[in-house]
């Protein structure tokens, strides 16, 4: 179970890193760009993720993960005044998450917490949020790729570079390591 805690710490760090790298590439107008009226902008995704993180991870063990003060529908109204406010919200949400994740013990993993009155083990709740955040970070990256097109600099294995990437990996001796160890 120690390896699970270490793994989720690295996974959450990795998804924050992907978001950080994406957000850093764009100005305020680009962060607010939407493909169409039914789509979300990067800034709306940040607002939603930050709202979710603050709700889920504040008083994680003692209160329902869907806080009464959360106004989820407002998370999809784009009212950030500038890029700095977007980045501040993004970091605030992640800080709330990491306060909990970095303090977990193996004894915590089977405890029951609630999200909308549904009981989850801590492990289930973490997995739920890890999937949720990776889904939205993928959207952030995809929107970034849409905006930059051919100028996009890949955050993973670039197209048509898999063989080169694999050659570098297989030059190393086999050992146990997390895939993010070479990135972060």
Percent of the chain at pLDDT above 70?
Answer: 100
pLDDT value of residue 184: 80
Give every CB contact of residue 4 below 8 A, 6+ residues apart in sequence: 109, 123
Q: How far apart are CA 145 and CA 153, in angstroms?
A: 9
Q: Where are any strands of DSSP class E within 74-139?
A: 112-115, 118-121
Q: How far apart are CA 141 and CA 20, in angstroms?
A: 10
When pLDDT is cut at 50, 70 and 90, the band that residue 139 belongs to is: very high
Tell the burial category of 91 from Cβ atoms under 10 Å away from its Cβ (0-12, 13-18, 19+).
middle
Residue 123 pLDDT greater than 80, yes or no = yes
With beta carbons less than 8 A apart as the criterion, state whether 25 and 148 touch. yes
This prediction has a pTM of: 0.94
Q: Which domains does the chain have, with CATH numbers?
A: 2-154 (1.20.120.450)
The radius of gyration of the chain's CA atoms, rounded to the nearest angstrom, is 18
pLDDT value of residue 179: 86
pLDDT value of residue 141: 98
What is the tens place of the pLDDT at every residue in 62-120?
Answer: 999 999 999 999 999 999 999 999 999 999 999 999 999 999 999 999 999 999 999 99
What is the tens place of the pLDDT at every residue in 16-48?
Answer: 999 999 999 999 999 999 999 999 999 999 999
Residue 1 pLDDT greater than 80, yes or no = no
């Amino acid at each position: 179970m120690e390896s699970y805690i270490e793994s989720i710490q690295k996974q959450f760090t990795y998804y924050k890193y992907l978001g950080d790298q994406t957000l850093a590439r764009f100005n305020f107008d680009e962060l607010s760009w939407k493909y169409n009226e039914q789509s979300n902008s990067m800034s709306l995704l940040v607002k939603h993720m930050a709202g979710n993180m603050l709700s889920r991870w504040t008083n994680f063990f003692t209160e329902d993960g869907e806080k009464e003060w959360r106004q989820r529908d407002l998370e999809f109204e784009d009212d950030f005044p500038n890029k700095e406010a977007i980045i501040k919200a993004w970091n605030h949400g992640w800080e709330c998450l990491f306060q909990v994740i970095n303090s977990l013990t193996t004894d915590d993993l089977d405890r029951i917490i609630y999200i909308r009155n549904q009981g989850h083990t801590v492990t289930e709740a973490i997995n739920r949020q890890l999937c949720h955040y990776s889904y939205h970070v993928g959207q952030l990256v995809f929107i970034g790729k849409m905006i930059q097109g051919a100028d996009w600099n890949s955050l993973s294995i670039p197209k048509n570079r898999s063989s080169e990437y694999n050659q570098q990996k297989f030059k190393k001796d086999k050992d146990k390591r997390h895939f993010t160890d070479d990135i972060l």
